[in-house]
Amino acid sequence: MSETVTFKLNGKDVTVPKGTTVMEAARRENVEIPHFCWHPGLSVAGVCRFCMVKVEGRPKLEIACNLQATNGMDVKTDTEEAKSAHKWALEFHLINHPLDCPICDQAGECGLQDYYMSVGKYQSQMTRPKVLKPKMLDVGRDLVLDTERCILCSRCVRFEEEVTKTGALGIFDRGDRAIIGTYPGEKIDHNYQTNLVDICPVGAFTSRDFRFKQRVWFLKDKPAVCPGCSTGCSVDVYGKPETRSYFRLKPRKGEANGHWMCDKGRHMYSHLNQDVRLRTALTTDAQGRRKDTNFAGAIEDLGKRIAAVNPATDVALLVSAQHTSEEYKSLFDFFVGELGIKKVFQWREPTEKIDAFDGLLYRGDHNANTSGLLSALKEAGLAAGLKNEFDAVASSGAKIVIAVTPEVPSTFPSFEQQLNRLTELDFVSFWTLAGSVADNKKTKHAIPMKGFPEKKGTFINHEGKAGKLDSPFPCPVADGRDLTEIIAALKQWRHSHGSR
């Protein structure tokens, strides 16, 4: 048991580990202390001077972020003096702020707006012209910087120093002329840029990707796990169910990722939107004519084909590692357990460097559930090595290949090439999200799948830790199913048609 201290916070006794700041303790106790520069994932800067609290017996207000709680300390966050300090701190932050909320992406999730409602609500006293600063600066691939909106909290500067260790940002000039920026001729160049948009408490850093696409109050966010690599960052997916569209991913504090996520992961929504998705099931009739069908039609077609062959020798399964452990279980229970097929292969990227790691979050294994797939294979009594097995599929002699494609084609540079190769085989049923499967004229059979924010289940990350998907969005594609639902439908069809 580590040493603890007990102090009073707004009259209530609070016990925290020694060394805890009043800010941290207040967060634990759900006591709101307004702040801009303090961030749980960064060092203490103590510059916004917003988090002023009263410590009984001390002459001046102190900042909660740099104040360690000590035994017997009597801290109040809501005295008239503290409240006045909060209001004034906010006013100082706002006097030169452009107040361009109507055209600012941050509106709706902006610290200045939120705090104005909670500690402000004053009449502005600013009667003079404001300080003007550079706007719309291109400081990096994913970023647009507006230094006029900036409140100089220095979170971004500390992020670049402490997290990415690139030191790419600095504060130039001084006083109210100070601006955030990159060094002359340089830009931010790393895979973690959009975190700056998240940690920026105002609209100074906006995301080039998200900019002007949607007002945030129309979005719903649901927790999920990023499917982009084997780290398994906890994320929130932001979508708009009414229009069946997705807009962005943001990191949610989690064991695997702390406060951050990478820019590659940020794009793990773009494969979910309808324009790039397989929207209907496909079958091909006896005359070789391909047609759109519904889910039941595709299942019937596939059911018939499987019934016409000896599955144990004639059906092969090609599986990628981007689906949930629960899905793999139902997949193998059926194909291996019930149908007795032996030909199970993995769809992996030939160029992948599975052990690569950038030292922060991003891993070379671009599959969220390699661990889950390997243990499901083992459970099913199959060889569970990591290998790319397209050649093995092609030479397996299977008459029917079920290809469960990677969910996110962009993580597989050879996706289209492999797709082309597979369409050369006798009959491949693609279970996929990728619209390009239908675009390929040689595709004979396809079933649309649900994406990760649309299903429940588990990804096992590289450390063997489970990440849960448990609060699904409605699937934008009417016929979209997860593997468990496809298997259930196939079983149902076989049951009602007398085959076992």
Partner 1 sequence: MGDTLTKVKITTAFEGKPNARALKTYVDNGGYAGLKKAFTMQPGQVIDEVKAAGLRGRGGAGFPTGMKWSFVPKDDKGPKYIICNNDESEPGTFKDRYITECNPHMILEGMIIAGFAIGANKGYIYTRYDFFEEIKWLETAIREAYDAGFLGDNILGTGFKFHIDHYAGAGAYICGEETGLLSSLEGKKGQPKLKPPFPAISGYLHRPTIVNNTETLAAVPWIINHGAAAHKTMGTEKSPGTKLFCLSGRVKRPGVYELPLGYPIEKLINEDAGGMLPGYNIKACIPGGSSAPILTAEELKGLTLDYEAIAAKGSMLGSGAIMIIDDSMSMVELLKVTVDFYHHESCGQCTPCREGTGWLANIMTGIMAGQGKKDDLQRMFEISRNMEGKTICALSDAAAMPTKSIVTKFGAEIADFIERGKRA
Q: What is the contact surface with partner 1 in residues (CB under 8 A)?
A: 44-50, 52, 60-61, 66, 84-85, 88-89, 92-93, 95-96, 125-129, 131, 151-152, 154, 170-171, 173-178
Instruction: Kindly state the helix (H) or strand (E) to which residue 229 belongs, with its residue range.
Output: none
* Cα–Cα distance list, 178 to 140, 171, 412 (Å): 20, 6, 44
* Min CB(413)–partner 1 separation in Å: 43
128 vs 289, which CB is nearer to partner 1? 128
Give least dist CB 104 to partner 1, A: 20
| Nearer to partner 1 (CB atom), residue 92 or residue 218 | 92
Helices (H), 100-237: 111-115, 155-162, 194-199
Which of 95/356 has CB closer to partner 1? 95
d(CA 292, CA 290): 7
* Residues 5 and 18 sit within 8 Å (Cβ to Cβ): yes
Give the shortest CB-174-to-partner 1 separation in angstroms: 5
Q: How many residues does the chain have?
A: 500
Residue (22 or 341) nearer to partner 1, CB: 22
- Cβ 57 to partner 1 shortest distance, Å: 16
Cα separation, 329 vs 457, in Å, equals 11
Q: Which amino acid is at 269?
A: Y
Residue 33 C-beta: closest distance to partner 1, Å: 15
- Closest approach of partner 1 to the CB of residue 183, in Å: 13
**Least gap, CB of 145 to partner 1 (angstroms):** 17
Closest CB to partner 1 among 122 and 218? 122
Helices (H), 124-228: 155-162, 194-199
The per-residue DSSP string of 37-89 comes to: S--TTS-----S---EEEETT-SS-EEGGG-B--TT-EEES-SHHHHHHHHHH
Q: 184-195 in b/e burial notation, b at 16+ Cβ within 10 A?
A: eeeebebbbbbb
- Nearer to partner 1 (CB atom), residue 73 or residue 225: 73
For partner 1, the closer CB: 47 or 488:
47
